[in-house]
Structure 1
Amino acid sequence: MAGTDHAPPPFFKRGPAPLALLTFYIAISLALFVVDLRLRSLDLLRQSIALVTDPVQRAAQTPGSLVDHAGGYLRGLHDLLDENARLKQAQLQLAPNLLRLEHLEGENERLRKLLAVTEREKANGAVARIMYTARDPFSRRIIIDKGQQSGIVAGQPAIDEAGVVGQVTRVFPFSAEVTLITDKDQTVPVQVVRSGQRSVVFGLGSGQLELRYIPANADIKEGDLLVTSGLDGVYLPGFPVARVVSIERENSYAFARIRCVPVAAVENFGEVLVLSPRQPQPPAPPESPGRTGNTGAPSKAAAK
């Protein structure tokens, strides 16, 4: 048979010995190492391989970089949210103090103005804090925290840094009641600064005042400033009281109807200055006997 003429293939193919191959490869590696070290002949090959493999390396590093960036972003977002929460909490904790500081700054400014008023007008007084308003809705009264223990007496005027606020009408041991000039039962003798016209301003109970007993043809204009005349013996002269806002003149009435608004912050703020009572004016000197008779008599007596 034809198939029986061929010899079977060998069971193992023998090649170079493994030790010989290892020695050959080591020798080639050492030769390449020495040649590259001495002649730098493989730099171009190395650069070419790096140029080809660089995009592959970058693509392989992309998932790890994305994971790192995502982790950093999430950590930063978490830290930012925590910091924002802490800042909001700190802001809420400091808000009352900041609001209180603003209030105290305004209060100190008003107190400085009150002291400036006393120095300018040569007046003495005590600063009092407004505790609350009277419960009667038809009156304009306030309660202050100074009373008999602080030397407050009925009749003392109360002012602020802008002008007259009212007058003490009732005194208690540790508090006092001040009737505002806008109360319907309160009157203040005033004088027009521009013309010197004297009159009396009455409260209307609605936050405004009315200047009465002014003739219809009197020299008074809108915007005129009214100050205390000092004729009542209660208010020192020269304190601002109100400003004229409207004038109504009718031929059928002898007096003009003049509306005014208070200059002082009558229903605002929280402090007033209660002025000390005015010193009583010395009595007028008695007239000399020579002045009661004929004016010529003293001259004749003096001539003798």
Structure 2
Amino acid sequence: MPIINSTYQAKGLFKSGHFSTIYSAKLRPTLRLKQTRKRLELTDSDFIDVDWSYHISEVKASHKVVILLHGLEGNAQRGYIKGQGQHLNKNGWDVAAINHRGCSGEDNRLYLSYNSGRTEDLAEFIEHIIARYSYDEISIVGYSLGGNVLLKYLGECTALPHQVKSGVAISTPLHLRGALEQLIKWENFVYSKTFINDLRKKYKRKMSNFPEAMNTEELKKIGSLLDFDNLYTAKAHGFKDAFDYYEKSSSIYVLENIKVPVLILNAENDSFLCPESYPFGLIKNLENVYLEVPRHGGHVGFHESNNVYYSERRVIEFLTDAVE
């Protein structure tokens, strides 16, 4: 029952997974979205910056908000965040787009930062929303790494706030070791090289603040995503090594615990994803987790028009259906 037959039909060059991925990340025209930045001081003395945008109505304020979670080394100004935010605002939702620690243009204060399985910041932000605002409905939409964070939060939270109603995970690596093995393949060289270059720059900036934990000799050893996760991610976040981090942070192991409706939208031709990210057999036995696998779409590249992507339209449909 939770397996959804997708209606997405890519056209022309967008049938290519790589073209869809690159066009959507680098070539999609910039969308206008008025964002207001608010900083949340976290209980561990660090911070996250959140970019808000609002449903505008002369009648009344929105009673519902969507939290958006970007992917690895992204931010709340990426095209997929602005596109989704704009479409949500037009359809009645306020939007809170979280910049993961160190991703808002200012390095975070602590040695640790963010990773694919760290849900504490999301949980604290949701608590902040509930305490400070009067939203009746909170939904969460995550992309790639952010999708894994969303699913892990919903699957691990033993006392989910009643305001949290639904979620959508887009282009999400449910099994992190498998995703790493995909990214190091030759066809993904450009993507993995871009990621590691960005992560090395961030590591280098942090070194002066944490000389006891970070140094030039280690930086020289970081030549791949696996190296980075072994030498920084695992060490900074309390894992034995990269493989321990991947195993304990993969959302596929907690899907069966999710208690609210969630859609996983993963394209068949997404070169970032491994077979475990299409768990048809598992999903068939779950009540609340839905899986939609279009033939095309690449990685966060479900193009229909530059103004509104299929994924952006599906988010509206799913979140609306989830509360009816």
Q: TM-score range by the shorter chain?
A: under 0.3
Tell which structure's C-alpha radius of gyration is larger.
1
| TM-score of the pair, normalised by structure 2 | 0.22
Which has the larger share of strand?
A: 1
TM-score by length of 1: 0.23
The structure, 1 or 2, with the larger RCO (C-alpha pairs under 8 Å, 6+ apart) is 2
